[in-house]
Structure 1
């Protein structure tokens, strides 16, 4: 972890990790850069540098003078992205999602992806004054901030809630008022299709009463050409804090597609689609499958594709982190979660024929406890399709 500054300004940013690519995180209204720490700790993507900063008026910059506008926020975050000197994916939450879009749109050659977490529309929420007065008056009122955060979250831990309230009440009342008007009034660019045309992921909390499914489908997603939208269960407006493992899994999968690291193949694409037909395209007719989660070899395209399709649906997240090719063999390292957060690591060895079809797949999971649980769940999902003798018992 290291901290750097933009010139002689008060804009400081933290850099964590090393890699050829950066992921820049932009926090939301009343928050600070530390709101991302839990999510960053859950990321499994290798070769990335994670970067956070406080927006003007927030966190360690509460003494900054105004204006507190999207123009100023985007200029400062953009300066940080430029200082990194490398391609980046930018992630923003709530108010920060609008800032992230503006930064990405201004740097199409280096912005490899845009992730919007519980995003407010760039055009603004356009709430009436009687609603906005409640938000404008939150400055310095810890009880009111706690009530709002509790109302708009579903699984915010008490310790996280306490820290957010402390961070939010440090902001000056005049800053809070101006920042609230910022996300309510929006930016002129939000009235048109987004100028950012790269890959976009939109993450919404299923229980978010502020950024609802309707607000995303009508006010956010239509402005992008082909965004991917996911909903996180048991999460509200702070999905990245409430369910960091699940949000990190979605971000890891997005990074695997957006960053030029492991090259996409029929195998990795099939895991994305989680369908038997997708795996069928990758396999030769005589393919065989060996796995630590199986007690014997599975033979033939139809049986192997059924096993792999069922297995892919067990994972909560799966990211291919390294790939090495030697002749007809490919070696893939991967990290996954299943069963609500159980970590599973593994190596897959694929052997292909002259036509590029897979003739043998060998999949090695670890640790042992997760292997047994995975095998039992796989047997349950393949009941009637594959004999019970193929799976571990007990």
Structure 2
């Protein structure tokens, strides 16, 4: 935990249109300053993203009117009013600084963040689970990192001090960013030293190892994105963000891109307000790593018999997969298909698991055909009786999936109609 003392900078007060006085306070013996607006028993703490500053959230805060909350903003080290900060500029440093503010507030918090800031907010929520009532992730980069290849990431690494390049990237990734705010953000971004920009890119591109498993934060989560965001895509959120949380809610803002909180602040504010009204009075009890759910799926693969799969399946189960041309339906057909599939694999390891409602997401790595590597994600959906009634299996690479399908077609000849499988001419 971070030991802090507050230093109230009353001369830093400013008047805002809808929140009265904004009080600027400082974490003692540091350059961490944070702005507080309004009063309430719970603090809504806002964390900005890559090349932005705390003021990027102003329009969202001005549009909110939820009783019982105060609004808190801060600049991450190296950004905004903290460009003179010394390093390191990494996720642990940023999480430490936001944690210092959370502890200084000494009240329950909801963390709201955008883009790179979502990685920071999740780490803070996990470390302060007992005090975090909710987590809002807007345009979230996966905690494991965006994983862009070196060639693609170089453009972002070279943005330090380059006003026109920053302007071009912001235009490319937004839809309705107001011209005045675009101008302001370009000024804010170009003030960040070039070496800091490179460190920030490393933060969001490489991420944190904890992002490779289910989130340590188990409380309520709201995930949103601009519907036309070309960087944080729907596929990225669906595959790499939502499955890591137990009970995520999600939304998309139409006619908005990566900076939806600037492009459509009233809409984003409305979604956050609705989320706040549903929060429980107490935060989750623990931030310990979640145990893996017993889906029955692992045991079936270990046993490799029809009986093992039958025990987990509903009578009307439907199987969809990359290796299937059309779905297989019904318990008998699906268990026969899965039994043969389990026998083709020479090895299979489930490396990550997450649950959201009735769905379980399993990421796996396997070998077949003399050591050929196959990777995939399986989505299991359970019915009211606890049995699996829908399975969707996504295989990669494509060549391995097609070879697998041909092998399945041969092994299941006379049991499952060949039309269910792909053919290779």
Q: TM-score, normalised by structure 2?
A: 0.61
Partner of 1:137: 158
CA distance in 1, matches of 2:37, 2:191: 25
d(CA) in 2 for partners of 1:47, 1:125: 36
Other-structure match for 1:85? 106
Tell me which residue corresponds to 2:93: 72
Deviation at 1:25, TM superposition (A): 0.3
| Match for residue 17 of structure 1 among 26, 38, 43 | 38
CA distance in 2, matches of 1:235, 1:11: 32
State the partner residue of 2:168: 147
Does 2:259 correspond to 1:228? no
Which residue number corresponds to residue 310 of structure 1? none
Deviation at 1:134, TM superposition (A): 0.2
Return the offset for 1:46. Answer: 1.1
Q: Which structure 1 residue ranges, 5 or more long, are not aligned? A: 262-394
- Partners in 2 of 1:42 and 1:260 — Cα distance? 24
Matched with 1:325 is none
Structural mapping, 1:190-205, within 5 Å? 190-205=211-226
Q: Take 1:5 and 1:259, find their aligned partners in 2: how far apart are those partners?
A: 30
Say whether residues 1:206 and 2:227 are aligned partners. yes
- Equivalence for 2:406: none
Aligned partner of 2:188 in structure 1 is 167
3-state SS, counterpart of residue 109 of structure 1: helix
Report the counterpart of residue 237 of structure 1 in structure 2.
258
1:35-74 superposed matches below 5 A? 35-74=56-95
1:288-312 CA deviation, whole Å, 9 max, x = no partner? xxxxxxxxxxxxxxxxxxxxxxxxx
Q: For 1:81-131, what per-residue CA distance to the aligned partner results, in whole angstroms no more than 9, with x for missing partners?
A: 110010010001000011000101111111000000000000001101111
Q: CA–CA distance in 2 between the matches of 1:60 and 1:197?
A: 33
The reply on whether 1:255 has 2:276 as its aligned counterpart is yes
Q: What value does the CA root-mean-square deviation take over the aligned residues?
A: 1.0
- Aligned residue for 2:335? none
Q: Quick one: structure 1 residues 242 and 259, their matched pair in 2 at CA, closer, same or farther if it must change by over 3 Å?
A: farther
Matches within 5 A, 1:347-386: none
Q: Secondary structure at the match of 1:258?
A: coil
Alpha-carbon displacement from aligned partner over 1:218-258 (angstroms, at most 9, x marks no partner): 01111001200100101100000000010000000000011
Give, in whole Å, the separation in 2 of the partners of 1:50 and 1:260. Answer: 18
Paired with 2:93 and 2:271, the residues of 1 have a C-alpha distance of 30
DSSP-derived class of the 2:129 partner:
coil
How far does residue 259 in structure 1 lie from its aligned partner after superposition? 5.6
- 1:162-199 Cα distance to aligned partner (Å, 9 max, x none): 01000000000000001001110100110110000000
Question: With structure 1 as the length reference, what TM-score do the two structures score?
Answer: 0.66
The aligned residue for residue 140 of structure 2 is 119
| Counterpart secondary structure, 1:246 | helix
2: distance between equivalents of 1:258 and 1:155? 31
Please, which runs of 5 or more residues in structure 2 have no aligned partner? 1-21, 283-425
Could you tell me whether the CA contact under 8 Å between 2:166 and 2:186 is conserved in 1? Answer: yes
Quick check: 2:133–2:281 contact (8 Å CA) kept in 1? Answer: no
2:126 aligns with one of 77, 92, 105 = 105
